[in-house]
Amino acid sequence: MTELIAIILTLDEADHIEACLETLSWADRVLVFDSFSKDGTAALARAAGAEVRQRAFTNFAQQRNAALAAVETDWVFFVDADERGTPALGDEVRRVIETRPEAGWYVPRHNFIFGRLTRGGGWYPDYQLRLFRHGYVRYRRPVHEVADVDGEIGTLENALVHYNYRDIAHFHDVQRRYTRYEASILKEQGVTPKLYTPYTQPLRHFWWRFFKLKGYRDGFHGLRLSGYMAYYEWVKYRLLREGQQE
């Protein structure tokens, strides 16, 4: 029988880990790959029956590659601690790994932002490349890591449930960190913004999210999120210009 291991990368995820593990019963094994959490995440995971290994965090790509190197299996499914599997997703995953030739699979996500299911503005289907034949994938890029898959890639129909951004403060904290990383990546790539880019790019981004990606479907919630994301486009290009001037 084809073996499937679900892998969860964790750092201080005590609030989520037990609920996440409860939704992954359709995996043959679960590995919690922990970055030396201080809130009891590892102990909670062991008590729930998961295997736990620990490694100091460097960046997301290296952490995922290290987790892949730590297991021997046929298939791997990456799940974040704030995500939940569903029985329908589990049934579909088991079916495709037994019957399909693809080496990797995208999975859609239902994003709950500030406690609300968000369907417009690019928040759905929000495809994530998470299911792989073991030995057929390698990650690169430190944040918003990219999976290079040696083979064809398919798309699943059933979604992960993602409890994304507890509140506005959590949203801004995460976006500030992501934006700094993204600005540094653009700088490494040699991207040089024009004088007007920090002003025109946020407008384009708002238009893209709110109108083209139908953020308006979520009413004021969608308007606010589109505005927030446009603001962080401005921050990203401002940081890029400042970094190049230095």
Element (H, E) at 99: helix 87-99
Span 95-108, pLDDT tens digits: 999 999 999 999 99
pLDDT for the residue 245:
67
Residues 156 and 206 reside in one and the same domain: no
CA distance 232 to 160: 26
Q: Which of 164, 182, 201 is the last residue of a domain?
A: 164
Domain that holds residue 98: 4-164
Please check whether residue 31 is in contact with residue 109, taking contact to mean a CB–CB distance below 8 angstroms: no
pLDDT score, position 246? 64
Please give the pLDDT value at position 229. Answer: 98
Q: How high is the pLDDT of residue 184?
A: 87
Q: What's the domain count of the chain?
A: 2
Residues of the chain by 3-state class (helix, strand, coil), percent to 5: 40, 25, 35
User: Is there a single domain that holds both residue 32 and residue 128?
Assistant: yes
Do 133 and 238 lie in one domain? The reply is no
pLDDT at position 232 is 97
Rounded CA separation 72/134 (Å): 8
Predicted TM-score (pTM) of the model is 0.90
Give the whole-number percent of the chain exceeding pLDDT 70.
Answer: 99
* Whether residues 144 and 207 fall in one domain: no
Do 218 and 178 sit in the same domain of this protein?
yes
Locus of tokens 């990219």:
146
Q: Read off the amino acid at residue 224.
A: R
CATH number at residue 143: 3.90.550.10
Residues 134 and 198 in one domain: no
Q: Could you state, in chain order, the average pLDDT of each consecutive group of 10 residues for the chain (246 residues)?
A: 96 97 98 97 97 94 96 98 98 98 98 97 97 96 86 98 96 94 87 88 97 98 98 95 74
pLDDT for the residue numbered 1: 83
Cβ atoms of residues 10 and 41 within 8 Å? yes
From 164, 194, 217, the end of a domain falls on 164
Q: What was the pLDDT predicted at 52?
A: 98
Same-domain status, 143 and 187: no
Same domain, 46 and 158: yes
3-state secondary structure of 15: coil
**Where a domain ends, among 145, 164, 183?**
164
Q: What pLDDT shows up at residue 217? A: 97
> Within this chain, do residues 225 and 107 fall inside the same structural domain, yes or no?
no
Mark whether 61 and 97 lie in a shared domain. yes
Give the other-Cβ count within 10 Å of 114's Cβ: 15
Residues 69 and 45 in one domain: yes
Question: Are residues 160 and 223 located together in one domain of the fold?
Answer: no
